[in-house]
Amino acid sequence: MIIAKRLKGKAIATWLGPTGDAARRALSRARQRITSEPRRLDFYVDIADPMSYLTAQAVARLVEAYHVELAVHVVTPPASDVDPSPVFRNKHAVRDAALVAEYWNLDFTSRKEADSGMVRDVGTVMIRPRSGPDQLRAFLAVGEALWTNDKKKLAPLMLQLGNESSGQVAPALNSSYAELRKAGHYQGAMLKYDDHWYWGIDRLPYLEAALAADLGVTAPPVVTPRPVAERGPLGLSDKPLTCELWFSFRSPYSYLALERIEAVLAPHGVPLVLKPVAPMVVRGLEVPAIKRMYIVRDAKREADRLGIPFGELCDPLGPGIDNCLAIAHWAGQRGQGMAFARSAMRGIWNEALDVAAYVDLRQIVERAGLPWDEARAAIGDPAAVKAAHANATELAVYSLWGVPSIRCGEFIAWGQDRLPLLADRLRRHALTSAEAPRER
C-alpha cells in the first residue's frame, strides 16, 4: 500500500511539475497558431465581490501597458458546492479588500458589504453588451459608486451607460457562471490567459510576467505594492503581540504558511500559537474536484516561486489526519508543535509519506526530534479532537472558516498570500512609538 501511494505521489508530481506545465502551455500555443486567435485575457467579475472591483483596477493598468484582447464576463457569486460559508465569506471579503487595497495601491474604502439593491442595479448595467475595454470602464465606474454606497452617483451612471431589465440579470449571470465552470473555475475575480488561471491581485504578478514575456515588453511592472513611504506607522495593538495560525494538515496553503511564518515573526519577536483544525470535509464543508484541482496546481506554482519543495503528495484524509491531530496536540504541550507540524507537512506535500502508516509516521516524528514511543501513545487521545473542534469554533468567531488563517492583534486574514501584508503591518507597528497616539 505504501509503495502504491509513493508511485501515485510521483505521478502527481509529474503532472504538477514543469514538464506537465510546459506541455499545457505548448498545447495552448499550438492551438493559438492554428486558429490564428489573438492573445486574449478573460476577466470574470462577481459584482458583489470586492476583490473583483480591486482586480478590475489592476486589469485596467495591465491592458493599458500590454496590448491584449480583453473580454469581461459578469458571473454570479460562487455556487454552494464551492462556497461552504457564504455569510462568513462576504463579511471577510470586505475586511480583506481593505487590507489588500492599502498594500497594493488600489482604491477601496468600504467597511461593509455591498447594498443588495445597488448590486441589482449594477447588474442591469453590466449585462448590457459592450466591448471588453468598455465593459471594464463601466464596471470601474459603477463599482466605485457601489463600494462608496453612493446611490446618487449610481443613478446617472445607469442612464449614461445604459441598462437592461432587472429580470434579465439572473439568467445572464447564471449563464456566464456556467461558462466559467465549463472553462475550469468556480468564482469571480479570476483571469484566464493562455489556459492558466490567475486569482485577484495575488496572482497578477504571474500574469504580468507572462504577458511581458509573450509580448516582448521590458518596462517595469504596473501591478506593484504601494510605496513604503506611504505605509507609515500603524499600531496593531496596545498589548504585547501574539500571532495565532489556524491550519489543516490537508491544506497545501497551510504547508506554505508553516514554512514561512516564523521568518515573518522572528524580526519582531512575536510568539506563534498553532491551532490545528480538522480538514474542511471533516467539518462538513465539501471541496469538489474542480476546486481541489485548482488549489493543488496553484499551490505548486506558489511553492516554486517561494523555493518550497512541493509535489509528491499523499492525501492524509482519514486515519492520517487523526494521527496528525493527536500528535500535534501532544507535541504542542511539549513546546514542539511547530517541529512536528513542519515535518508532517513536508512528508504529506513533498515526500508522499503516508501519515496513516506507522512506518512513515515514525519517520516524521523522529525527524522532528520527538520520541516515537510517546508520540504513538498519544494517538487516539480524545483531548486532541476536542482541541481541534475548539480551534475551528474559535475561527468562526472572526468570520473565518478556511485555512490558513492568521490573527495578530487587529490583523485578521485568511491565506498564505497575506503573509507579506502581515510582515508589512508588523514593520509599521514597530514604527509606532509607545507615546504616539494609535492610528486606525
Which residues pair with residue 191 across a beta bridge?
Answer: 43, 198
* pLDDT at residue 288 in the model: 85
Predicted confidence (pLDDT) per residue in 374-428, tens digit = 999 999 999 999 999 999 999 999 999 999 999 999 999 999 999 999 999 999 9
Ranges of H-type helices in 184-288: 204-215, 252-265
Predicted confidence (pLDDT) per residue in 49-70, tens digit = 999 999 999 999 999 999 899 9
144/124 Cα distance (integer angstroms)? 16
In the chain, where does the domain assigned CATH 3.40.30.10 lie?
Answer: 37-215, 243-430
pLDDT band at 287 (very low <50, low <70, confident <90, very high): confident
- Whether 256 has a pLDDT exceeding 60, the answer reads yes
Ranges of H-type helices in 105-231: 116-126, 132-147, 151-161, 169-183, 204-215
- Whether 184 has a pLDDT exceeding 80, the answer reads yes
Closest CA to 25 of 289, 260, 214: 214
Stretch 30-35: mean pLDDT: 55
- Grid coordinates belonging to 78: 460562487
| C-beta separation of 230 from 428 below 8 A | no
pLDDT band at 281 (very low <50, low <70, confident <90, very high): confident
- Whether 39 has a pLDDT exceeding 80, the answer reads yes
The residue type of 210 is A
Stretch 136-163: mean pLDDT: 98
Predicted confidence (pLDDT) per residue in 185-228, tens digit = 999 999 999 999 999 999 999 999 999 999 999 989 998 999 99
Q: Say if domain 243-430 classifies as CATH 3.90.1150.10.
A: no
* pLDDT at residue 154 in the model: 98
**Residue 314 burial (C-beta neighbours within 10 Å; 0-12, 13-18, 19+):** buried
Predicted confidence (pLDDT) per residue in 289-305, tens digit = 899 999 999 999 999 99
Predicted confidence (pLDDT) per residue in 75-117, tens digit = 999 999 999 999 999 999 999 999 999 999 999 999 999 999 9
* pLDDT at residue 422 in the model: 98
- Grid coordinates belonging to 359: 512506518
The larger pLDDT score, comparing residue 379 to residue 12, is at: 379
Closest CA to 385 of 325, 319, 338, 345: 325
Q: Give me the percent of the chain exceeding a pLDDT of 90.
A: 86
Beta strand pairing call for 405-408 and 272-276: unpaired
Phi/psi zone of residue 357: left (φ > 0), alpha (ψ -120 to 50 degrees), beta?
beta
- Grid coordinates belonging to 385: 479532537
Helix (H, G, I), strand (E, B), or coil: what is residue 212? helix
DSSP state of 412: E
pLDDT band at 4 (very low <50, low <70, confident <90, very high): low
pLDDT band at 35 (very low <50, low <70, confident <90, very high): low
- Whether 352 has a pLDDT exceeding 90, the answer reads yes
345/313 Cα distance (integer angstroms)? 10
* pLDDT at residue 27 in the model: 55
Residue 196's H or E segment, with its range, is: strand 196-199
Q: For the domain bounded by 37-215, which CATH number is listed?
A: 3.40.30.10
What pTM did the predictor assign? 0.91
Omega before residue 404 within 30° of 0, cis: yes
Instruction: Say how many C-beta atoms besides its own lie within 10 A of residue 392's C-beta.
Output: 22
pLDDT band at 7 (very low <50, low <70, confident <90, very high): low
